[in-house]
Amino acid sequence: MGHMSKEQSQLLSKIATGNGHGEDSPYFDGWKAYDENPYHPTNNPHGVIQMGLAENQLTADLVEEWVMSNPEASICTPEGVTDFKAIANFQDYHGLPEFRKGVAKFMAKCRGNRVKFEAERIVMSGGATGAHEVTTFCLADPGDAFLVPTPYYPGFDRDLRWRTGVQLVPVTCESSNNFKLTKQALEDAYDKARQDNIRVKGLLITNPSNPLGTILDRATLRTIVKFINDKRIHLVCDEIYAATVFSHPGFISIAEILEEETDMECDRDLVHIVYSLSKDMGFPGFRVGIIYSYNDKVVQCARKMSSFGLVSSQTQHLLASMLNDDEFVGRFLAESAKRLGERYRVFTKGLGQVGIKCLPSNAGLFLWMDLRRLLKKATFEAEMELWRVIIHEVKINVSPGASFHCSEPGWFRVCYANMDDEAVKVSLQRIHTFVLKNKDVVVPDKKRCWQDSLRLSLIKNRRFDDIIMSPHSPIPHSPLVNATN
Amino acid sequence: MRLLSRKATCNTHGQDSSYFLGWEEYEKNPYDKVKNPNGIIQMGLAENQLSFDLLESWLAKNPDVSGFKRDGKSIFRELALFQDYHGLPLFKKALVDFMAEIRGNKVTFDPNHMVLTAGATSANETLMFCVAEEGDAFLLPTPYYPGFDRDLKWRTGVEIVPIQCTSSNNFRITESALEQAYQDARKRNLRVKGVLVTNPSNPLGTTLSRNEFDLLVDFIKDKETMHLISDEIYSGTVFSSPSFVSVMEILKEMTPNDAAKIWNRVHVVYSLSKDLGLPGFRVGAIYSENDAVVAAATKMSSFGLVSSQTQYLLAAMLSDNKFTKKYISENQKRLRRRQRMLVTGLQKAGIKCLKSNAGLFCWVDMRHLLCSNTFEAEMELWKKIVYQVGLNISPGSSCHCSEPGWFRVCFANMSQDTLNVAMKRVKNFVTDSTGAECGSSSACFTKSFSNWVFRLSSRDHRAPEER
């Protein structure tokens, strides 16, 4: 945003002039490096490969094929134009009935039809970004807080806090138990917030997790449900990666816990799901966000707020058709899981060949890479240094763990579903070359005495609270961006 | 501890207003020429349904666009992935050119100063978030679009203080009204951050005069933290003279000295919902020369971006200059004809309208039909019109009009036949009720009036987005 004059800061609001949008982070270097020198197999084979972008490009061909074979789903084709007027005119914030029905069915299918979703509870929003902000506006007042397990998606800092005035309180998860969320960690975070006079209104979990790529097991989900009921706080479950689960164990949605774990007391008014089609179907451009709440008042309020970010009726119409095509949806979900699983195997194998381990995962569009042994020291500065090397020498844009508020340095998120097989090969080759070249620099596994120095460095390095805000892809070299006429 | 937020449990969203209640009645009993000829005719919906055929014929001639193709090649994948909040460059260029064309090319717009948002609803709220905060107020001339109560105030915490306009001078903004509003705000301990006008006006259907512009500019010129927001969503609906003057034109005509004082604080809101009749597509825009506003608003647009699919379609459509030229002029022609029909029809029933040259509605004077010069009487009349006459029109009080007896009646969201039916009903109603006695409404039942309004509003409405 650049330097703000004193005049400007009085002319505009604090929200506008502050940095709650989160984009002033030094981590933007990775994006800049990519923007200035993007990889292209023939035009720029030595450019930076984008692996910081959690997009799902593996199934675009399936969707494309469907769109071409179903011209009536578009209101612009001769087959579909008779619907043009009605659709172009349709701005009811309840959404097209067929669209809601299709979304409810799709959500159920992603969960193996083990649960059903009511179309009347489906509320639209401007992507999951909009869904999170609306949900926060409905559940919390300025100054209230949400607990969020670390590491977490950097966008939450903006989506939950920026215009709402709500705070985020981290619930620390550690590598010692594979970053699992524990009851102790929840209690500790809650108690600390209370001590600091912060009113906790809810807990936000992302399941499957970004950036970990893991899913929550039944025991943890039960622990969570018990916790929020005991404390009478809300539970917001971001299930945006629900259909990216590609292997065992199977995904368990909070909806299933509500339906099945009937021995547990759970006030449904406290439970809300945020969803989107951006990851599972690979359509971030269509801005389809969904809020699904079990609380009637929240549904009503969120629906009124959805006026600020409705899904284009043109898009609703297209997707209504697509999502109600049961044969296509079944085939799509199966194929998507297969391709993601394959990509995961290729990548983890490739990394394994040079001794790079990843957190074992079975979902998401990325890996949580353990590069601790490549750090000069177990500090976030060293993580930054390594990150700059990866960007400028290895020429891969990956996301450093600190940007996800990870409590331990040395972890990096690397995305693998936003490129073709060739690019995967190239990126693995580059990593191999780098690791082999720097073999002698690898720090051997010392005694884990860095936990103490870690806490110190966390306090020292508050600038690491500025995080990468990179939910958007400028894709400067996309033909869409370059076209002027 | 309260379970939900204050915002969730208050009613600042404004949907308990009579404006939206008429919807419900219409939804329960909608007019259909064949299936429900005695149903309620919807005249409370400012939609433009007059020119869809032009859009449809364009689509028929441009098959590539419909198939997500450019030069025969599929671009579906790129579109599906495109979520850059800077927007599709092709679309922004086409949109600014379209806006310029509507203004007779007397001004040009730079696509880099434009921010795309999910409808004008989102544009207006986003602008508020950028230029004001809790404890601040914006001055708005009355009567104004009821949705502003939600869009400008609800989640932002900003207040609206009315600039009271009256029929004595055809609801024009006066210097004293502006000053009075400013003082009212100060009395309420609110910091005035600016003025927001809708030009052409909803619900008046008139365009701002140069005199009013002078007043507004003078008002904010030396108050260095004050903004002027011009919602120009109806700019393409101006169908007769005086021709439309955009605030951007005013800026352009100012002396460099004067312009320098305010160019940084003037912002325009636009949308394709009215001019092109595409409210479902959610295409809104903020235009500002203030880089900081553009930067902040762009980031905020993440909460409500325009679907890339829609950007792509409209980029192609609006880039077709032959088409846009024809559309703009034909659309205006049809609007003019339709407005004439309404005005004449009402005239035959002895009802006058405020002289208007724009918009999708008329501001109708029914003061002479009131039993008393009160808002209770206005509500009584409104109920009669909805239930007995079978027309959903919008009472002036829902638009915060300071005088009872005015109603907004829309004319562009129905067929000609339906409009004729509506006019016949009005004529019959007036003829029948001449000499009829009024009910006992002389007393001021302000409290019971608002109770009635809120009693009717206890649930979630099927209220479409509206203006």
pLDDT in tens, A357-402: 999 999 999 999 999 999 999 999 999 999 999 999 999 999 999 9
Whether residue B454 has pLDDT greater than 70: no
**Dihedral sign for Cα atoms in the order B379, B385, B388, B392:** negative
Q: Are B273 and B120 in contact (CB under 8 A)?
A: yes
Pick the CATH number of B4-51+331-430 from 2.130.10.10, 3.90.1150.10, 3.40.50.880, 3.80.30.20: 3.90.1150.10
Which residue, A196, A268, A223, A195, is CA-closest to B3?
Answer: A268
Active-site residue, A14 included? no
- Which residues of chain A have a CB within 8 Å of the CB of B313? 76, 314
pLDDT at A8: 64
Domain ranges of chain B: 4-51+331-430, 68-322
Chain-wide mean pLDDT for chain A?
88
Percent of chain A at pLDDT exceeding 70: 88
Catalytic residue among A279, A290, A391, A467: A279
Amino acid present at B308: S
Whether residue A448 has pLDDT greater than 70: no
Whether residue B390 has pLDDT greater than 80: yes
Euclidean distance between CA atoms B110 and B251, whole angstroms: 15
Indicate yes or no: CB of A307 within 8 angstroms of CB of B65: no
Chain-wide mean pLDDT for chain B?
90
Write out pLDDT tens, residues B86-119.
Answer: 999 999 999 999 999 999 999 999 999 999 999 9
Indicate yes or no: CB of A15 within 8 angstroms of CB of B296: yes
Catalytic residue among B97, B149, B151, B231: B231
The whole-model pTM stands at 0.90
Q: Report the complex ipTM.
A: 0.89
Euclidean distance between CA atoms A31 and A194, whole angstroms: 38
pLDDT at A235: 98
Whether residue B366 has pLDDT greater than 50: yes
Write out pLDDT tens, residues A157-181.
Answer: 999 999 999 999 999 999 999 999 9
Catalytic residue among B19, B31, B144, B145: B145
Whether residue B52 has pLDDT greater than 70: yes
How would residue B19 be classed by pLDDT, with cut points 50, 70 and 90?
low
pLDDT at A31: 77
Of A130, A312, A481, Cβ closest to residue B89? A481
- Which residues of chain B have a CB within 8 Å of the CB of A308? 118, 121-122, 125, 155, 303-304
Q: Which of the residue ranges A406-415, A451-460, B8-17, B167-176 would you say has the lowest mean pLDDT?
A: A451-460
pLDDT at B256: 94
What is the rounded average pLDDT of the residues A120-135?
97
pLDDT at A344: 96
Whether residue B393 has pLDDT greater than 90: yes
Q: Are A305 and A269 in contact (CB under 8 A)?
A: no
Give the DSSP letter of residue B276.
S
Q: How far is B345 from chain A (nearest CA, A)?
A: 26
Domains along chain A with CATH numbers? 18-59+331-436 (3.90.1150.10), 71-325 (3.40.640.10)
Q: Which residues contact B217 (CB under 8 A, 6 or more apart)?
A: B228, B250, B254, B258, B262
Indicate yes or no: CB of B292 within 8 angstroms of CB of A93: no
pLDDT at B425: 96
Q: Which of the residue ranges A2-6, A106-110, A357-361, B138-142 would you say has the lowest mean pLDDT?
A: A2-6
Active-site residue, A416 included? no
Write out pLDDT tens, residues B136-181.
Answer: 999 999 999 999 999 999 999 999 999 999 999 999 999 999 999 9
Q: Which fold has domain B68-322?
A: Aspartate Aminotransferase; domain 2 (3.40.640)
Whether residue A469 has pLDDT greater than 50: no
pLDDT at B2: 78
- A23 or B40, which is more confident: B40
What is the rounded average pLDDT of the residues B296-317?
95
Among A451-460, B55-64, B101-110, the range with the most confident prediction by mean pLDDT is: B101-110
Which residue, B150, B154, B155, B172, is CA-closest to B163?
Answer: B172
Whether residue B458 has pLDDT greater than 80: no
